[in-house]
């Protein structure tokens, strides 16, 4: 059984002006997401600026999220690292905190071989009991997981159940799903490819768009599941200009700007990320108005 089906939100982390985590705002956002129909919370991923968090903050944010969500929808914790030992530590702590699943990015910078990726993920999976999603995002990590590697991990390691695919390479994803014969739970990591991924047997999306449009993103998936592919595709296409604006600068710069434009007061970014360029912010606001969320 998949960890979740539908639209999981790759949640931002709200900060106070002094850079500390704004837990009061985080609780408010979690409640808004659940009320908006989000199918899963993905916490401490790329969008959550996890790479700027200390280990203590990382674990505290996961624990807080699990406590506040309280089993209403699944919580998937980002616990990946380019150090296998560090990923094991974060993963075991996330499991202890109550996470329903883990999202593990490919090791970045040291750029493991395919054999190294298999060894890395297998070692982590052996230390926890909860299900694991691989996270394939070569544009950020410089590492490409071969389709056969993903399939082997999902087939051979009992609690590695699927992949968040953000490579954008539909041909490679198609090849992977052809090999998988049902053993890979596939999630789109790109908001502009939700319907294409669903058409290949995907379970849903891990979405940046859901931060500002949770109901609409959920409905793209639900309409597809309900058999109304035309409606799902229409909703996907309508969202493309907004999605493009949300990725006009590196994520999560635009989505935090969008949430602040909506009056959600999610605070600043942590360096090295900086505030959105004025001309891009204007384009983002125009796309939000066109989409009907501003």
3-state secondary structure of 162: strand
Q: Which helix (H) or strand (E) holds 178?
A: helix 170-180
Note if 135 is an active site residue.
yes
CA distances from 103 to 148, 183, 185, 196, 281 (A): 19, 17, 13, 22, 30
Q: Is residue 80 within 8 Å of 51, Cβ to Cβ?
A: no
3-state secondary structure of 2: coil
Catalytic residue among 25, 68, 152, 164: 164
Residue 219: name the closest of 28, 12, 37 by CA. Answer: 37
Catalytic residue among 68, 121, 135, 291: 135
Instruction: Find all residues with CB under 8 Å of 289, minimum gap 6, and list them.
Output: none
- Distance (Å, whole) CA 39 – CA 34: 8
Name the residues annotated as catalytic.
135, 164
């Amino acid at each position: 059984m998949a960890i979740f089906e539908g639209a999981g939100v790759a949640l931002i982390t709200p900060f106070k002006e002094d850079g500390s985590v704004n837990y009061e705002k985080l609780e408010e956002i979690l409640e808004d997401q659940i009320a908006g129909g989000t199918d899963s919370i993905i916490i401490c991923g790329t969008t959550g600026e996890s790479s700027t968090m200390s280990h203590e903050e990382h674990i505290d944010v996961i624990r807080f999220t699990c406590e506040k969500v309280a089993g209403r929808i699944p919580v998937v914790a980002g616990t990946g690292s380019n150090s296998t030992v560090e990923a094991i530590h974060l993963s075991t702590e996330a499991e202890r905190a109550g996470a329903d699943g883990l999202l593990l990015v490919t090791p970045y910078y040291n750029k493991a071989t395919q054999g190294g990726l298999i060894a890395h993920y297998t070692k982590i999976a052996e230390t926890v009991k909860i299900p694991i999603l691989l996270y394939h995002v070569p544009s950020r990590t410089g590492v490409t997981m071969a389709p056969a590697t993903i399939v082997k991990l999902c087939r051979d390691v009992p609690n590695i159940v699927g992949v968040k695919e953000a490579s954008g390479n539909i041909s490679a994803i198609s090849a992977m799903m052809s090999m998988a014969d049902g053993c890979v739970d596939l999630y789109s990591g790109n908001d502009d490819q939700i319907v294409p991924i669903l058409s290949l047997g995907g379970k849903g999306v891990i979405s940046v768009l859901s931060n500002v449009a949770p109901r609409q993103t959920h409905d793209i998936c639900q309409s597809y599941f309900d058999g109304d592919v035309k409606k799902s595709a229409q909703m996907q296409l309508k969202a493309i200009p907004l999605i493009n604006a949300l990725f006009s600068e590196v994520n999560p710069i635009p989505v935090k700007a969008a949430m602040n434009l909506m009056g959600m007061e999610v605070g600043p970014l942590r360096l090295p990320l900086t505030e959105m360029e004025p001309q891009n912010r204007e384009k983002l606001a125009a796309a939000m108005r066109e989409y009907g969320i501003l």
